[in-house]
């Protein structure tokens, strides 16, 4: 199972920077889905200093090659 950006299919990596509105988010951690209906979560740190955890779709990513969905 791999986490990739939907538009490019490039793998998501810790340290990736995503531009959102007037802010830059840096990927600090991501975890795979815990059940087939879940999308998993990604943790980010803002250039403004705050941190947050979002579903991977918020950064335009998705898990592919999932073993839990056959």
**pTM for the predicted model, two decimal places:** 0.88
Q: What is the pLDDT at residue 26?
A: 98
CB 24 within 8 A of CB 15: no
Query: 27-55 burial, b for 16+ CB within 10 Å, e for fewer?
Result: beebebbeeeeeebbbbbeeeeeeeeeee
**Domain ranges for the chain:** 2-64
β-partners of residue 24 are 19
pLDDT of residue 69: 77
Q: Which residue ranges of the chain lie beneath pLDDT 70?
A: none
Total count of residues recorded for the chain = 70
Q: What is the pLDDT of residue 68?
A: 86
- Across-strand partners of 45? 26, 51
């Amino acid at each position: 199972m791999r986490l990739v950006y939907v538009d490019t299919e490039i793998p998501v990596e810790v340290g990736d920077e995503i531009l959102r509105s007037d802010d830059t988010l840096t990927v600090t951690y991501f975890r795979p889905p815990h059940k087939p209906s879940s999308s998993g979560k990604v943790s980010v740190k803002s250039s403004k200093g705050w941190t947050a955890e979002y579903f991977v779709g918020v950064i335009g990513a998705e898990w592919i090659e999932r073993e839990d969905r056959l």
